[in-house]
Every structure is written in C-alpha cells, then in structure tokens.
Amino acid sequence: MRILKARSRHLDGVMAIENSSFSDPWSRASMEAYLDAPDGELLVLEKDGQTAGFAVYHVSWEDAELYNLAVGGGFRRQGLGRALLDEVLVRAKGRGAERMYLEVRRSNAAAIALYRAAGFAVCGVRRDYYSLPTEDALLMDIILISN
C-alpha cells in the first residue's frame, strides 16, 4: 500500500470509485483541478497495483477542509480509509492548517465512525445540504495543533 499525489493516470480509477460511492458524484473536471492545485491535493491510495481509494482536501490559511474521501468497494474494511485520512491530516498540518473541517451525510454511519475515531467532533448541522436524496450534513472538525 502507498499513498501519493494523484497524477492524470489515476483519474479513471478515482472516477470509478467516486461514481460508485456517491449519489451526486464530482465531475472528472473537478477532480482534475486538484491534480495541480496550489492549495490542495488529490491523493490516491494504491494497493496491489490498483487505485483503491482517494481523498481531496484544501487548505486556506489556518483552516483545511476535507472535501472527499472514498475507498473502492473491494478494498473496504481493511483500514485504508483511516490510512488516507491520517495522511490527509499530516499533509494539511504540514501546509500550516490548524483545524480541519468536513461535511458528512447524517446517515453515513461508517464515515461518521471513521471521523470520530480519528478525533473529529460534530460542530454543527447544515440543513438539506445534500441532494439525491436531500439530507442534512453533519459539520465536523478537528484541531490539528496543540497550543
């Protein structure tokens, strides 16, 4: 297993995971924009020569946001999501982020459990944030630095 900055060769695998994981997936162009984004990254996790998962995050000053994280169906429940999340946290902190935020569907119990286990806490609710179907988002955050 290895986690690295995505390249264009990874986009087909990333989009296959994105399209199978989310009811309202990102476009290929949106993913492609993070290949060379100065303030964020598209990371991929490769396992057994395949793109097994990916994460997209953005850093703006002291705040970071996890935009997207998914692991392909055949690779779930192996700790790969946690490995990706841990790498995102390290990289965001390395870019100067002091806090990271994310939104997650209220019904996504597996993702919420992953984020809580990593130290995220619910700090708000965004009503009707998601579509297809319409659903509230839990806003979660984690402090990346200690005072």
Q: Is a pLDDT exceeding 70 seen at residue 121?
A: yes
Task: Kindly list the distances between the CA atom of residue 130 and the CA atoms of 11, 67, 80, 107, in Å, as whole numbers in the listed order.
Answer: 24, 13, 25, 11
Q: Measured on CA atoms in the order 55, 59, 65, 67, is the torsion positive or negative?
A: negative
**Mean pLDDT of the region 56-71:** 96
Q: Is a pLDDT exceeding 80 seen at residue 61?
A: yes
Per-residue model confidence (pLDDT) at position 74: 87
Q: Measured on CA atoms in the order 29, 35, 37, 41, is the torsion positive or negative?
A: positive
Structure token digits, residue 107: 């019904």
Give me the chain's average pLDDT, please: 95
Q: Is a pLDDT exceeding 90 seen at residue 80?
A: yes
Active site residues: 103, 115
Cα dihedral 59/112/107/127 (nearest 10)? -40
**Mean pLDDT of the region 77-105:** 96
How many other CB atoms are there within 10 angstroms of residue 140's CB atom? 22
Confidence of residue 70 (pLDDT cuts 50, 70, 90): very high
Confidence of residue 147 (pLDDT cuts 50, 70, 90): low
Nearest to 126 by CA among 85, 83, 65, 82: 65
Per-residue model confidence (pLDDT) at position 89: 97
Confidence of residue 146 (pLDDT cuts 50, 70, 90): low
Q: What letter would DSSP give residue 73?
A: G
pTM value?
Answer: 0.93
